[in-house]
Amino acid sequence: MYDIITVGSATVDVFVHTATDATKITSVKREHDVCYPIGGKILIDKLTFDTGGAGTNTAVAFSQLGLKTGWIGKLGDDANSKHILDALNQERVKFLGSHGKGNTGYSVIIVGLLNDRTILTHKGINDALAVHDVAFQKVHTRWFYFGSMMGTSFHTLCMLAALAKRTHVPYAFNPSTYLAKQGYKILSPIIDGCEVLILNKEEAQLLTHTTHVAKMLESLQRHANTVVITDGKNGAFAFDGHERLRLFTRAVRVVETTGAGDAFASGVVYAISRGKPLSDAMKTGLAEAESVLQHIGAKKNLLKKSELHKNIKHIRVEAF
């Protein structure tokens, strides 16, 4: 019996550090765009390799917090799949998915852009997780965590959500903008009956067709027991049908932002799965995100259970 099984993507991530004088950032309305000269050759100052993807990022976070964790996803037949498996084994995460012919997911992440990054991602075989790829006889868990999946993998995600509801196993869902653009009707097989729905403000707007945070929370909470909406530097908002809370961020040194959303979501779900109050769950999510933001890599410096109390001590959460 696992404490939690995550379902989602896996990638090999390469972080590219380029010279700042070779990068031009332009502003169009409220958007910031990165420009490189066509036909030019840009020197790379430093390369950093790591693993990423929502499925493995959250799996490692849960394992670091002491949960017996499995991961369901699909890997290719290339060398990168071995690299991902080796990293998961080192973190005591059990692989419950399958291999297939094709490339494992791969991302090139350009960092150092106004304390943010731009990601070029190749989904690869991540979108090809079929129902027959899942060893259902091994899927015995107290919780599920569902990340964003597309194509055939989304259909499999819906089947797993149906299984969770049929067997009364709570699950969390963290959709992407790609999925949110398809609308509530497409995502309803997963959102309806979800224990914890975590999404950013843009995704919430796409699903609810409103820009008012309180209305977004109330609309989504009709379908999911607890809804958490993140809003970057403005913190996060949550509603469980009883408490409506706002989380305030703190000033931290941001090195690179990849994986911060997954870290936040895993902290929230960990605390709720342990029976902690919603306010503590939001604090735990922020503490995890803050730690990842200060390092290069989506899994770097994730917190252990023994570190939580110290890291959430002075985080501010208020009713609104």
pLDDT tens figures, 201-212: 999 999 999 999
Average of per-residue pLDDT across 6-27: 82
Residue 179 confidence (pLDDT): 96
Ramachandran angles phi, psi of 144, nearest 5°: -115, 150
Ramachandran angles phi, psi of 284, nearest 5°: -65, -40
Token readout for 71 is: 């991961």
Residue 297 confidence (pLDDT): 86
pLDDT tens figures, 144-199: 999 999 999 999 999 999 999 999 999 999 999 999 999 999 999 999 999 999 99
Neighbours of 250 (CB within 10 A): 11
pLDDT tier at 20 (50, 70, 90 boundaries)? low
**Superfamily designation of domain 54-102+124-319:** Ribokinase (3.40.1190.20)
Q: Any idea which residue has 């809003």 for tokens?
A: 231
CA–CA separation, 47 and 111 (whole Å): 10
Sheet holding 44-52, edge to edge: 44-52, 11-18, 105-113, 116-122
Of 255, 260, 239, 238, the closest CA to residue 247 belongs to: 238
Of 51, 65, 42, the closest CA to residue 95 belongs to: 51
Are 240 and 231 in contact by the 8 Å Cβ rule? The answer is: no
In the chain, the percentage of residues whose pLDDT exceeds 90 is 81
* Residue type, position 153, single letter: S
Token readout for 26 is: 């332009």
Cβ neighbours of residue 82 closer than 8 Å, sequence gap 6 or more: none
Residue 82 confidence (pLDDT): 95
Token readout for 54 is: 């929502």
User: Judging by DSSP bridges, how do beta strands 244-247 and 317-319 pair with one another?
Assistant: antiparallel
Are 145 and 62 in contact by the 8 Å Cβ rule? The answer is: yes
Residue 114 confidence (pLDDT) above 80: no
Handedness of CA 263, 264, 268, 269 (dihedral sign): negative
Half-sphere exposure of 218 (CA within 13 A, CB side): 6
DSSP assignment of 13-40: EEEEEE-GGG-EEEEETTEEEEE--TT-
pLDDT tier at 115 (50, 70, 90 boundaries)? low
> Residue 119's beta-bridge partner residues?
109
Longest dimension (CA), the chain: 57
Which H helix or E strand runs over 269?
Answer: helix 260-273
CA dihedral 140, 146, 185, 158 (to 10 degrees): -40
Cβ neighbours of residue 31 closer than 8 Å, sequence gap 6 or more: none
CA–CA separation, 154 and 152 (whole Å): 5
